[in-house]
A = this chain, B = another copy of it.
């Protein structure tokens, strides 16, 4: 191993790990399926509010000046020598899905605070301010729109839209902000930072497969979600001749098989296609399904290839309808975001920092959505991915990155932030 370059900084791995484990106790539950301790900290629940208070306490202990905006986004600011310079922003989120682990989002927030503690200990002063952000409702599980806090901060969605969103019990996000005390006074529109760098677990198997611990993220692939409903005709399995059937379940199966063939064809670039949700009705052994419902999740780093995939899928659905009397298919768009490329200069700073720490790294796309894709509209942005165990499983109590892996990712974050904060 080479000696680290002079302007690298190394964080306190134990202190980082303790903060991850301490935060994971807030909203913890015993997961019956896995036998593990999981985290359930849906946005703006009491558990999330308790987690936010803990994070603010840690920020204040680290000397950060904390402000909360009207979306409940939290920013902790460490001044630089030039307080008029745009700050370097880092951060992520601490809200979780209902059956989560300790790392998703939290690593970026607690990693940012750990960087500040380390700079303080070393007496390092930067030219630009450094801010650590905590964005509200990144998961989108409670109020139905993901990357919500960062999207409003970046101006893609309005505050009114966000405040009016309701959870399944009919409570609005605006009311829940007030109830938890996180309807802050700060303006929600973020003044463009100098740069944004987010450290996050990979939530996938690519780093492990490549035998490296660090990923330099080149962008977030486009996402297209739609729900397809197939209406056929219920029929008795024993008495209905095959040619008289309108089998909704068969049509759903043909769509799934076709999607895989589209992926394998290579004609749609790096398309990924997933049917994760699938139900048939009436769901009885001896009844031909009258109805099937499935979701199609498409990902693509190439917007043109994505559009082509969507069109060809639509054409296939029309073909199915034409070929099978009695079948009707309808689709509903659930979500769609374009490919977000990250800034190449920031990627180079991250890669250089990893090199100077002697850490092997690769460049890769993000398959999942992140706050960084919203903040990228405001300033040069990129992400650092940290390797996960168990094929990078996430949104599950089995989610796990080693203390070593977390610390090395935050080392790279620290050096990256330091270098960016000293730029003119």
Please give the residue numbers on chain A whose beta carbons come within 8 Å of chain B beta carbons, in ascending order: 202-206, 209, 221, 223, 225, 233-242, 244, 247, 249-250, 252-257, 260, 263-264, 272, 274-280, 282-289, 295, 297, 299, 334, 366-369, 391-396
Contact across chains for A238 and B253 when beta carbons are under 8 A apart: no
Copies of this chain, count? 2
Contact across chains for B272 and A276 when beta carbons are under 8 A apart: no
A3 to B284, CA, bound (A): 46
Most buried by B among A252, A257, A272: A272
Contact across chains for B287 and A240 when beta carbons are under 8 A apart: no
Contact across chains for B277 and A283 when beta carbons are under 8 A apart: yes
A282 to B297, CA, bound (A): 15
A364 nearest in chain B by CB position: B239
A283 to B280, CA, bound (A): 12
Q: Which residues of chain B have C-beta atoms less than 8 A from A277's C-beta?
A: 280, 283-285
With A280-B277, A283-B276, A285-B276 known as contacts, the answer to whether A391 contacts B223 (CB < 8 A) is no
Q: Which residues of chain B have C-beta atoms less than 8 A from A368's C-beta?
A: 236, 238-239
Contact across chains for A238 and B221 when beta carbons are under 8 A apart: yes
11 A-B residue pairings within 8 Å (CB atoms): A202-B239, A204-B239, A206-B241, A238-B366, A239-B367, A240-B392, A242-B272, A254-B257, A276-B282, A279-B279, A285-B297
With A209-B244, A254-B257 known as contacts, the answer to whether A237 contacts B391 (CB < 8 A) is no
Contact across chains for A280 and B285 when beta carbons are under 8 A apart: no
A234 nearest in chain B by CB position: B393
For the complex formed, measure the closest distance between the CB of A394 and the CB atoms of chain B, giving whole angstroms.
Answer: 6
For the complex formed, measure the closest distance between the CB of A100 and the CB atoms of chain B, giving whole angstroms.
Answer: 13
With A234-B396, A253-B253, A276-B285 known as contacts, the answer to whether A263 contacts B239 (CB < 8 A) is no
Q: Which residues of chain B have C-beta atoms less than 8 A from A283's C-beta?
A: 276-279
Q: Looking at the complex, which one of B240, B255, B367 makes contact with A238 (CB distance below 8 Å)?
A: B367
Contact across chains for A239 and B274 when beta carbons are under 8 A apart: no
Contact across chains for A256 and B263 when beta carbons are under 8 A apart: no
Q: Which residues of chain B have C-beta atoms less than 8 A from A202's C-beta?
A: 239
A209 nearest in chain B by CB position: B244
- Which 3 A/B pairs are nearest by Cβ-Cβ distance? A204-B239, A238-B367, A239-B367
A221 to B239, CA, bound (A): 10
For the complex formed, measure the closest distance between the CB of A262 and the CB atoms of chain B, giving whole angstroms.
Answer: 11
Contact across chains for A203 and B236 when beta carbons are under 8 A apart: yes
A392 to B299, CA, bound (A): 44
For the complex formed, measure the closest distance between the CB of A387 and the CB atoms of chain B, giving whole angstroms.
Answer: 12
Given contacts A204-B239, A249-B275, 5 further A-B contacts (CB under 8 A): A204-B236, A223-B238, A235-B391, A252-B253, A276-B286
Contact across chains for B236 and A394 when beta carbons are under 8 A apart: yes
Q: Which residues of chain B have C-beta atoms less than 8 A from A275's C-beta?
A: 249-250, 253, 289
With A244-B391, A253-B253, A254-B257 known as contacts, the answer to whether A237 contacts B285 (CB < 8 A) is no
Q: Looking at the complex, which one of B225, B241, B272 makes contact with A241 (CB distance below 8 Å)?
A: B272
A235 nearest in chain B by CB position: B391
